[in-house]
């Protein structure tokens, strides 16, 4: 069998608007004719390298920015360790999505943002937010002054 033409396609998809939003697909397709005496394997490897290079330059997933409001987060039913209402600036917790009562409705975007953040820690406003193992609790702690 004599190979006279090689066609290769490669693509990737990246989220455009966060983990549950719209996605963007980038796909490239190239063809090359194999000249007399040219090694088809070398041509194929060259085409794949070209596509890999193009895909490396293609759009990547943007940093997802959650739709959070600092004032609304402060109004959530945060509690101190002794189950008293927390004051602004205090370490506090509230029930998470996997607790018996579930997370408050207004905390749903916060949960999504924490889950999508690096190391499941979200620094937002004056606090760092985390989910406990098993998602039973949402915790907040004042962000270190050097972190802001």
Task: Flag whether 64 is in a domain.
Answer: no
Q: Does residue 21 sit in the same domain as residue 87? A: no
Q: Are 56 and 109 in contact (CB under 8 A)?
A: no
Identify the residue whose tokens are 């907040």.
140
Per-residue confidence (pLDDT) for residue 144, from 0 to 100: 80
Per-residue model confidence as pLDDT tens digits over 6-56:
999 999 887 766 656 677 788 999 999 999 999 999 999 999 999 999 888
- Residues paired with 141 in a beta bridge: 128
Q: Is residue 65 part of a domain?
A: no
> What is the distance between the alpha carbons of residues 30 and 51, in angstroms, rounded to a whole number?
8
Clarify whether residues 95 and 137 are in a common domain.
yes
Residue 43's domain comprises: 5-57
> What is the tens place of the pLDDT at every residue in 98-140?
999 888 988 988 998 888 877 788 888 899 999 998 899 999 9
Q: Are residues 77 and 135 in the same domain?
A: yes
pTM over 0.75: no
Same structural domain, 92 and 114: yes
**Could you tell me which of 134, 64, 65, 124 has the C-alpha nearest to residue 103?**
134
Other beta carbons less than 10 A from residue 101's beta carbon:
8
State the burial class of residue 142 (Cβ atoms within 10 Å of its Cβ: 0-12, 13-18, 19+).
Answer: middle
């Amino acid at each position: 069998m004599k190979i006279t033409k090689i066609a290769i396609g490669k693509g990737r998809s990246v989220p455009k608007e966060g983990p549950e939003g719209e996605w963007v697909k980038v796909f490239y397709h190239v063809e090359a004719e194999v000249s007399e005496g040219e090694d088809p394997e070398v041509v194929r490897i060259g085409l794949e390298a070209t596509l890999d290079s193009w895909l490396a330059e293609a759009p990547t997933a943007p940093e997802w920015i959650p739709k959070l409001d600092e004032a609304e987060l402060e109004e959530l039913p945060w509690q101190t360790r002794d189950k008293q209402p927390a004051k602004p600036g205090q370490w506090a917790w509230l029930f998470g999505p996997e607790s018996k009562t579930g997370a408050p409705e207004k905390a749903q975007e916060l949960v999504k943002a924490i889950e999508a953040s690096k190391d499941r820690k979200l620094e937002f406003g004056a606090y760092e937010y985390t989910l406990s193992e098993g998602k039973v609790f949402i915790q907040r702690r004042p962000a270190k002054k050097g972190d802001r």
